[in-house]
Amino acid sequence: MNDPVLRLSGISKAYNPGAPNEVQVLRGIDLTVAPGEVVALVAPSGAGKSTLLHIAGLLDTADSGTVEIAGDDLTGQSDRKRTGVRRADVGFIYQFHHLLPEFTALENIVLPQLANGVARKAAEARARDLLAQVGIAERADHRPAAMSGGEQQRVAFCRALANEPRLLLADEPTGNLDPSTSDQVFAALMALVRGTGLSAVIATHNLELAARMDRQIRLEAGQLVPV
């Protein structure tokens, strides 16, 4: 089966609809992401990329339009169903790592797997393998506060991929890092993504990083335009 991993059709979204401060953020977004495809989402600040990623990742709902993940139309489905699909099929990365501060790097990657029913031993083995893939195997027992910003973000990448999602959604994944660290950390992310063959939508302001992905799309005035 070659269903697109993500298909958005006619997605529209307004905040405060009907009120004087209504903001129409998305106006009929269509986007299809093929298996293994990595798409750069470029947009000026405030254009609505976080809103779009949250809708695609089932963290928010659209006012109209449909969201399909791996051929499954999730529009209007129960919260329970949407949460199940999100946990199993979608990985998120944000600009800030959002790691749990009281847990080590390893535990931060193990916990979502335990929540998904993976046995501890297998979860730890996968966490160590992921940490090795992003070049920080020796940081497994460090808490986030004892790691650099680039290392923290690498751990966040591993956590996002821990449950082998089909779709990765990343919102400025290196936006909080200085330019040279950002470059290295982005390269680690791309190697991880390409190694697993998963599909991704990665939002970035950085046009050089965007150019390294398979395709670029720009969000402008609530609509997607090819770059």
Ligand X SMILES: Nc1ncnc2c1ncn2[C@@H]1O[C@H](COP(=O)(O)OP(=O)(O)OP(=O)(O)O)[C@@H](O)[C@H]1O
Where do contacts with ligand X occur on this chain (CB under 6 A)?
A: 15-16, 23, 25, 43, 45-51
Q: How far is the CB of 58 from ligand X (least distance, A)?
A: 16
Measured from the CB atom, the residue of 4 and 48 that comes closer to ligand X is 48
Measured from the CB atom, the residue of 18 and 117 that comes closer to ligand X is 18
Measured from the CB atom, the residue of 112 and 222 that comes closer to ligand X is 222
Q: Do 198 and 39 touch, CB atoms closer than 8 A?
A: no
Measured from the CB atom, the residue of 50 and 133 that comes closer to ligand X is 50
Q: Structure tokens of 74?
A: 């999730």
Helix H, strand E, coil C: the string for the chain is CCCCCEEEEEEEEEECCCCCCCEEEEEEEEEEECCCCEEEEECCCCCCHHHHHHHHCCCCCCCEEEEEECCEECCCCCHHHHHHHHHHHEEEECCCCCCCCCCCHHHHHHHHHHHCCCCHHHHHHHHHHHHHHCCCHHHCCCCHHHCCHHHHHHHHHHHHHCCCCCEEEEECCCCCCCHHHHHHHHHHHHHHHHHHCCEEEEECCCHHHHCCCCEEEEEECCEEEEC
Q: How far is the CB of 20 from ligand X (least distance, A)?
A: 12
Alpha-carbon distance 114 to 137, whole Å?
Answer: 20
Q: How far is the CB of 21 from ligand X (least distance, A)?
A: 7
Q: How far is the CB of 22 from ligand X (least distance, A)?
A: 9
Measured from the CB atom, the residue of 33 and 203 that comes closer to ligand X is 203
Measured from the CB atom, the residue of 56 and 109 that comes closer to ligand X is 56
Q: How far is the CB of 27 from ligand X (least distance, A)?
A: 12
Strand partners, 199: 167
Q: How far is the CB of 170 from ligand X (least distance, A)?
A: 12
